[in-house]
């Protein structure tokens, strides 16, 4: 009886193993088909189909596609999109901020949008921060407020943490920061995830089937959203526009490991960075966000005293899509507060520098009077 049981168990294991092989072969074939379709549909060149109202600027190692709005002399605001987003996915936001007097610059952060992709897979948060600052250099923007969504949040914080102090303030929208609140280092991914990331063929197939697939764009927006009906066809079409560019699948596939589990340490993941950032930080978050949970934002407000949190209730990971009108109202309110705080602070710093310079240039006596001035005036009166 025991021999019969073992024989039955062995047969089940064999069939299970064969079934796993067949299933794996089917998945592999499925991904290869999508990769083949991607090569057929990705035929456009970015320079030929990029929106005419935008332009390319050289930023760090690549050419970045940017769109601008608002008065050139307004306070500079740089919009940094997240996963799947590009400069064209902020339409109402750009109009709202420009009408309020801000000079708005929306950028395409590679591998998404119409920007040039780096020849090697340089997609760390530090690399992306260099590109943000490179855009500012190209546009002669000395300092700016950064508004960053989702995966754009880490690079924005990296840029703000650099010694150059180019960032006046931060607005982080459902940002994926991966702050190590309760751990010393980022955990390694599970074995199967690690094997998947190590295989370009599997990554390319998965990206071609989902992230880079124009047919899947609306489903992806629905998955990231919480509000029913928010992911309209009009929004999906905006996100689809750059997906037919040559090399889109390969570029996103090369970026994917960095997004899922970076091997490089980053300032934006260190809680100490936020304690030391001497700039105001405003957080705008959806309470139903499952990608970057609201608790992360609340932890950040407890970590840094210069942080303000505004929750958009009922929204998921895409508040600018799900609640666009209310989101733009909240964002404009945050930027107006930041503008007032920045201008007040910089005016005080300028007065302090001016007073210090005056004191250094003109020594005073014990009574607080400038030495030598009274003597000259007296001599003038005597004449």
Per-residue pLDDT reduced to its tens digit, 126-155:
999 999 999 999 999 999 999 999 999 999
Coil vs helix vs strand at 47:
helix
* Assigned domain for 364 exists: no
What DSSP designation does 85 have?
Answer: -
Asked whether residue 382 is assigned to any structural domain, the reply reads no
Give Dmax (Cα) for the chain.
Answer: 130
Closest by CA to 87, choosing from 61, 51, 124, is: 51
Axis-axis angle for helices 200-209, 248-260 (nearest 10): 110
- Let me know if residue 381 belongs to a domain: no
Structure tokens at 23: 């299933």
| 20 within some domain | no
Judge whether 126 lies within some domain.
Answer: yes
Helix (H), strand (E) at residue 97: helix 91-99
Which of these, 197, 200, 244, lies nearest to 38 by C-alpha position? 244
Spatial CA neighbour of 171 closest among 142, 148, 151: 148
Whose tokens are 């602070």? That residue is: 345
Domain count, the chain: 1
pLDDT (tens digit, 9 = 90+) per residue, 41-79? Answer: 999 999 999 999 999 999 989 999 999 999 999 999 999
Domain interval for residue 252? 46-181+190-345
Is residue 199, in this structure, part of any structural domain at all? yes
Position 376 pLDDT exceeds 60: no
Which pLDDT score is estimated for 10? 57
pTM for this prediction: 0.87
Residue-level length of the chain: 383
φ/ψ region of 292 (left if φ > 0, alpha if ψ in -120 to 50, else beta) reads beta
Q: Which CATH number do you get for residue 176?
A: 3.40.50.1820
Q: Measure the CA–CA gap between 69 and 106, rounded to whole angstroms.
A: 9
Lowest mean pLDDT among 185-199, 201-215, 232-246: 185-199
Determine which of 26-40, 42-56, 155-169, 259-273 has the lowest per-residue pLDDT on average: 26-40
């Amino acid at each position: 009886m025991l021999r019969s049981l073992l024989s039955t168990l062995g047969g089940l294991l064999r069939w299970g193993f064969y079934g796993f092989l067949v299933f794996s072969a089917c998945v592999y074939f499925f991904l290869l088909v999508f990769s083949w379709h991607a090569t057929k549909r990705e035929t456009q060149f970015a320079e030929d189909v990029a929106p005419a109202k935008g332009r390319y600027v050289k930023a760090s190692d690549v050419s970045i596609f940017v769109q601008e709005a608002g008065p050139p002399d307004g306070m500079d605001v740089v919009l940094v999109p997240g996963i799947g987003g590009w400069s064209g996915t902020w339409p109402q936001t750009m109009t709202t901020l420009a009408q309020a007097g801000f000079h708005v610059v929306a950028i395409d952060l590679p591998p998404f949008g119409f920007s040039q992709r780096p020849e090697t897979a340089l997609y760390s948060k530090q690399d992306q921060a260099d590109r943000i600052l490179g855009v500012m250099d190209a546009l002669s923007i000395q300092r700016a407020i950064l508004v960053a969504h989702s995966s754009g949040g880490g690079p924005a914080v990296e840029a703000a943490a650099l010694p150059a102090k180019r960032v006046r303030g931060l607005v982080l929208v459902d940002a994926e920061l991966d702050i190590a609140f309760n751990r010393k280092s980022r955990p390694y991914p599970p074995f199967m995830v690690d094997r998947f990331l190590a295989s370009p063929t599997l990554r390319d197939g998965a990206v071609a089937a989902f992230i880079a697939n124009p047919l899947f764009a609306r489903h992806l927006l629905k998955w990231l959203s919480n509000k029913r009906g928010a992911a309209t066809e009009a929004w999906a079409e905006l996100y689809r526009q750059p997906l037919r560019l040559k090399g889109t699948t390969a570029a996103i596939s090369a970026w994917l490991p960095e997004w899922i589990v970076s091997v490089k340490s980053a300032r934006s993941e260190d809680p100490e960075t936020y304690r030391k950032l001497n700039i105001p930080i405003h957080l705008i978050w959806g309470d139903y966000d499952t990608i970057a949970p609201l608790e992360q934002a609340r932890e950040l407000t407890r970590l840094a005293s210069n942080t303000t949190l505004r929750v958009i209730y009922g929204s998921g990971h895409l508040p600018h899509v799900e609640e666009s009108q209310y989101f733009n109202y909240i964002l404009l309110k945050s930027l107006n507060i930041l503008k007032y705080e920045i201008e007040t602070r910089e005016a005080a710093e300028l007065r302090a520098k001016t007073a210090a310079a005056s004191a250094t240039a003109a020594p005073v006596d014990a009574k607080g009077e400038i030495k030598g001035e009274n003597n000259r005036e007296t001599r003038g009166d005597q004449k």
